[in-house]
A = this chain, B = another copy of it.
Amino acid sequence: MRIESDREKLSSNMEDYLEAIALIEMDKGVARVKDISRLMKVKTPSVTSALNVLANKGLVEHERYGYAELTENGKRIAHDVLKRHKMLTKFLSSILKIDPQVAAGDACKMEHVLSPQTCERLTMFVEFVGAGSEIDRPLWLKGFDHYLKTGKRVECKNKQALKKVKGEK
């Protein structure tokens, strides 16, 4: 028999609900069933049912016909997920140059399945690379861009090519 605040691993789905609620709270202050259902692309009964599950785990508060609110615990988890989401999005879009939509989708999947170790390393990697702007983009990464376009590695002995890679787009 188990008591209250279970520390069991949340399912991807429930993590997604927490994340959605957090986003809506950030946007509008409070989250309603309708908003969640719209954001998650599920019907409202699914939301009601998810809220019951999450409330049982002490991750949201929800009174019938009222707003849903994350508890402290819920917030903590949601923010962890969001942090992973952001990091992954950045990795995909600014390092690998994946299209924003696709990157968002992939980040949404990956955020629930990566081990803490991988998340941590990837975070360090993103941090290490920087690459927020084109200017910050390290030279080797521009080399990768070139490799993507042409399938060929930049010959660094050739000053001409090197300049080209360094310089533009």
Contacts of A117 in B (CB 8 A): 98-99, 102
Taking CB atoms and an 8 Å cut-off, the chain A residues in 59-115 that contact chain B are 92, 96-99, 102-103, 105-106, 109-110, 113-115
A132 at interface (Cβ–Cβ under 8 A)? no
Residues of A near any B CB (own CB < 8 A): 92, 96-99, 102-103, 105-106, 109-110, 113-115, 117-118, 121-122, 124-125, 128, 138, 140, 143-144, 147-148, 153
**With the chains together, A106 CA to B122 CA distance in Å?**
12
Known: A96-B125, A109-B113, A125-B96. A118 touches B140 (CB 8 A): no
On whether the beta carbons of A124 and B110 are closer than 8 Å, the reply is no
Contacts of A148 in B (CB 8 A): 121, 124
On whether the beta carbons of B110 and A113 are closer than 8 Å, the reply is yes
On whether the beta carbons of B109 and A121 are closer than 8 Å, the reply is no
